[in-house]
A and B are shown apart, each in its own frame.
Chain A
Amino acid sequence: GDSVTQMEGPVTLSEEAFLTINCTYTATGYPSLFWYVQYPGEGLQLLLKATKADDKGSNKGFEATYRKETTSFHLEKGSVQVSDSAVYFCALSDLWYNQGGKLIFGQGTELSVKP
């Protein structure tokens, strides 16, 4: 079945450092890919998305490119801030084989940014 694998956390960075969180997936069909962010005590919020191969999603300085050849959707940010401290989830949705628009989540990567 479909699955998502993320790099393990926690990840600790200094402010203004470069961030990469790796995400790879397996899917039968043609999935859409998402990054969600969860701030402490809150629900998940959509950070960015990409719906087909070579699409780049971007938001708030974060970027991720849908790479079909490597089945990856790595999250990057050039200069992190303390306010980026949160848990980040990679997810896919594959309507071709997955009725109901269900999301398959990775296990989440906790990011902690120190001043």
Chain B
Amino acid sequence: NAGVTQTPKFRILKIGQSMTLQCTQDMNHNYMYWYRQDPGMGLKLIYYSVGAGITDKGEVPNGYNVSRSTTEDFPLRLELAAPSQTSVYFCASSSGTANQPQHFGDGTRLSIL
């Protein structure tokens, strides 16, 4: 019963470095999402995808890139990491209908120093 799996769980980056946060789901969901959660705040949508090969920007896409080559995987790329990107990142997936919930991974805690 894996659900949504995110790796790594923790990471420290230096300013200017790049990295990819991995997300995979085994529920055959077409819709996938990346959120960031800052302390005391709700979740902000970074990017989302409604199917393989289709991605779109969310509320806070600057500094990030995504790709969706398969239904299962939805990696998030940080280029030129900045301190403002220090956050907890959550990946989620859903079947895409309004009354069906999103399923979340356990998150990646990222610090940029």
Q: Which of B60-68, B70-78, B79-87, B100-108 contacts A (4 or more CB under 8 A)?
A: B100-108
Q: Are A100 and B42 in contact (CB under 8 A)?
A: no
Which residues on B sit within 8 Å (CB–CB) of A42? 106-107
Which residues on B sit within 8 Å (CB–CB) of A107? 40-42
Q: Is A17 an interface residue (CB 8 A)?
A: no
A105 in complex: contacting residue of B43, B94, B105, CB < 8 Å: B43
Q: Are A102 and B48 in contact (CB under 8 A)?
A: yes
Which residues on B sit within 8 Å (CB–CB) of A105? 42-43
Q: Are A108 and B42 in contact (CB under 8 A)?
A: yes
Beyond contacts A43-B104, A103-B102, A108-B42: 11 other A-B pairs, Cβ-Cβ < 8 A, are A34-B101, A42-B107, A44-B92, A45-B104, A46-B103, A95-B97, A100-B96, A101-B98, A102-B33, A102-B48, A108-B40
Q: Can you report 15 residue pairs joining A to B where beta carbons are below 8 Å apart? A: A31-B98, A43-B4, A43-B106, A44-B43, A45-B104, A51-B98, A89-B42, A94-B98, A95-B97, A100-B31, A100-B48, A100-B56, A100-B96, A103-B33, A103-B43
